[in-house]
Amino acid sequence: MDANPFVPLESHEWNVLMFYDYTDLVSNPSLNSLFEDYREIVLIGWSMGVWAGQQLFAPYRGKLKLALAVNGTLCPVNDQYGIPMDVVRATIENFNEQQRRKFYHRMCREQNSFRLFQKNQPARSVDSQKRELEHLLKIVDCKQQTEPVYNCVLVGDHDYIMPTANQLDFWPKKIIRQVNGYHFLFYAYQSWDEIVLEAEESVNGSGS
């Protein structure tokens, strides 16, 4: 992805910094400045970004107000805990403009969400996305035994990209908040503030 699909989400209390395109995933020393300039930091990782967020922010876990994983695991390419390996390989082999549109539809599923996504779809070429997928297939590992940086997990009950059952098998039940939705479930919210508040309520035990 890139930042475009998230344009419809407002943000009243938070500045939003987005990380995407993990073909050059390195621990950036400039992340230190984030914790110098801001009183509170919230990490929201989505899909493959859950794994990437673990790589980048694990050294700062003690400084995060909240870390939310959305429809992703620390084993993102995995038959039991992530997207099955054969599915990822087939996606890469057949990735073109037509297949990308099918992927976006499968990701959103619900028609209103898909139409809004199409209006705000990533401004990236098919080639750049394919290169990123190829790179991720080479570098992602399964951090099943790693202490997660995340203390809250949002799982859509109809995720057809990162299978819901695989996510539920990976995460401890006590930090999971299962919601009605698909892989891209962000348009069910009006703002980042709403997402953060729901996650905080879940962590504090006041959510349903």
Q: Is residue 181 part of a domain?
A: yes
CATH number at residue 59: 3.40.50.1820
Whether residue 36 is predicted with pLDDT greater than 90 in this model: the reply is: no
| Domain-located, residue 106 | yes
* Alpha helices by DSSP H, the chain: 31-37, 48-57, 85-93, 97-108, 111-119, 126-139, 164-170, 192-203
What is the reported pLDDT for 37?
Answer: 85
Q: Is residue 51 part of a domain?
A: yes
pLDDT at 67 (0 to 100): 98
The answer to whether residue 151 sits within a structural domain is: yes
Structural domain count, the chain: 1
Which has the closest alpha carbon to 154: 40, 44, 29, 75? 44
Q: Is residue 44 part of a domain?
A: yes
| Residue 21 belongs to a domain | no
- Residue span of the structural domain in which 102 resides: 4-15+27-200
111-115, 139-143, 165-169: segment of lowest average pLDDT: 139-143
> 101 and 95 in contact (C-beta within 8 Å)?
no
CA separation for the pair 19, 155 (Å, rounded): 21
The answer to whether residues 159 and 75 touch, using CB atoms and an 8 Å cutoff, is no
pLDDT of residue 10: 97
Q: State whether the Cα torsion 14-105-4-148 is positive or negative.
A: positive
Neighbours of 99 (CB within 10 A): 15
Per-residue pLDDT reduced to its tens digit, 166-198: 999 999 999 999 999 999 999 999 999 999 999
Residue 207 resides in a domain: no
* N-term to C-term CA, the chain: 31
Q: Does residue 206 form part of some domain?
A: no
- Which two tokens mark 80? 């039991």
State the pLDDT at residue 29. 60
pLDDT level of residue 89 (50, 70, 90 thresholds): very high
